[in-house]
Structure 1
Amino acid sequence: MGGLVVRPAGRRKEILESFIRHVAEYGYERTNLGDIAKELGMSKGTIVHHFGTKAQMLCELEENYMNHQLDAVRSMWERLAKPQERIAAIVFASAILQVVARDATVASQREVVQLADDPGMQEVRKLRRELQRMTEEELRRGIDEGLFRPVDVEVVSLQLWGSVQWMWVWFQPGGRHTPEAIGSTFVDVLLGGLLVDRFGLSALSDPNGEVATVVRETFAADAAK
């Protein structure tokens, strides 16, 4: 897993990566700490010593993923100033994460229902709201600057995140479509419906254009740390 991957030290790193992989493949409910212990040649007590409960492991997975996603978006936005560029960056990032951090992305997104009312997920919900707030702010700025049509920014933000966060269900790494191609199509449709003037849409949705390049470089720099 590259990109948005937390790198804890020692055996803790092995345990968390194995847990993430199991959740991505089987789902949280079917993930068994005993299976992980057997896979890693350790006792289940060692896992409990490092993490406590399985629920605490899921919470750590989600918090780590959301914190790194927020950091990545902020890094991209430092290089992309326009609202339409920043919205496009979110879309490309969501698609490219399906490859550069596949296990963590699938594990996080398939268990989104756990975030609804679980008291242990309060911090995760806070982080998700921050990402939502940042998105709404850029949509609102685009409207105020006459770049976007007047829309309900809350609904459009939910539409954006609701669509990209289900990519894991149908996207197949190494398949017919690259993540950049998927991102390009999503950007074309989403921004095509928002922009007052679509003259620059092809540049924004270009899988080899500036926005996609900034996203790829951001993840590459993070993976190299």
Structure 2
Amino acid sequence: MPRSPGRRGEILDAFVRYVAERGYDRTNMGDIADELGMSKGTIVHHFGTKAQMLRELEETHLAVQLDALRMAWDRLAAPHERIAAIIYASALLQVIARDATVASQREVVQLSDDPAMQQVRKLRVQLQTLAIDEIRNGIEGGVFRSVDVELAALQLWGSLEWMWVWFDPADSPPPEQVGAAFVDVFLGGLLLDRLGLSKWASPSADVVSVVRECLASVSGATD
């Protein structure tokens, strides 16, 4: 997640790490203040409430994903390439922006009905719509078999949003390998012709390089 400069950035970085490690409910301003050697009042001055910090975390992290994928769309035209890009982006973020990814995914329903989280909900819908549109385009273009488009997109995002639970950068296979396995199963289940599947379901696939470059461009992060 791109970092804001100064003390405000330090506070948000610490908050993101605590939420990733403990969850939102067990994260408190007092611990952040103690770690950073400041008063709780300083945190309140910058953010107001803990909920405001969660909103900023979610908005920033989801915007990075959207911006990276939209940039990738300029380089990847085919529906199957774009679906693969969504999968590889999610896998790579487990390493490139680990704390923000875990914090966002574990708290996906936190404050979900809060009016202040309207922009977060909008960004999540936009991400889901990317998958819906490409699955539909693939069906209409004769590349994918006919499926319930919205259910297929929910299946995809549901599996990707759950990755934080079991993925461990120190223990799991590399994110490119994990992404390739997901592409093999999900994209393989959509394609009418699986002959070229290995071209996209590979850790060294061109789409992986495209996604990595786009993520680095929008976030300034490298793995």
Report the TM range for the smaller structure's normalisation. Answer: over 0.9
Secondary structure of the residue aligned to 1:150 is coil
Q: Select the residue among 8, 16, 24 that pairs with 1:28.
A: 24
Contact 2:2–2:219 at 8 Å: present in 1 too? no
Q: 1:162 aligns with which of 145, 153, 158?
A: 158
Q: Which residue of the partner structure matches residue 109 of structure 2?
A: 113
1: distance between equivalents of 2:218 and 2:130? 21
Aligned to 1:180: 176
List 4+ stretches of structure 1 deviating above 2 A: 219-225
User: Could you tell me which of 43, 57, 62 is aligned with 1:66?
Assistant: 62
How far apart, CA to CA, are the structure 2 residues paired with 1:119 and 1:169?
28
Structure 1: stretches of 5+ with no match in the other structure: none
**Correspondence for 1:104:** 100
Question: How far apart are residue 69 of structure 1 and its match?
Answer: 1.1
Q: Which residues in structure 2 correspond to 1:48-59 (within 5 Å)?
A: 48-59=44-55
- Counterparts of 2:96 and 2:12, CA distance in 1: 17
Matched residue type, 2:80: Q
Cross-structure match for 1:194: 190
User: Within 5 Å, which residues of 2 pair with 1:203-214?
Assistant: 203-214=199-210
Aligned to 2:144: 148
| Gap runs ≥5 in structure 2 | none
Give the deviation of 1:34 after TM superposition: 0.5
* Conserved 8 A contact 1:115-1:125: no
Note the C-alpha offset of 1:115: 5.0
Q: Partner of 1:139 in structure 2?
A: 135
**In the TM superposition, what whole-angstrom CA distance separates every residue of 1:107-154 from its partner, at most 9, and x where no partner exists?**
001001115322221110011111111211111000000000001110
2:91 is matched by which residue type in structure 1? A
One-letter identity of the residue aligned with 2:165: V
Q: What does the per-residue CA deviation read over 1:75-113, in whole Å, with 9 as the maximum and x for residues that have no partner? A: 111111100000000001101100000000000010011
TM-score by length of 2: 0.96
- Percent identity between matched residues is 64
Verify the 8 A CA contact 2:64 2:219 in the aligned structure 1. Answer: no
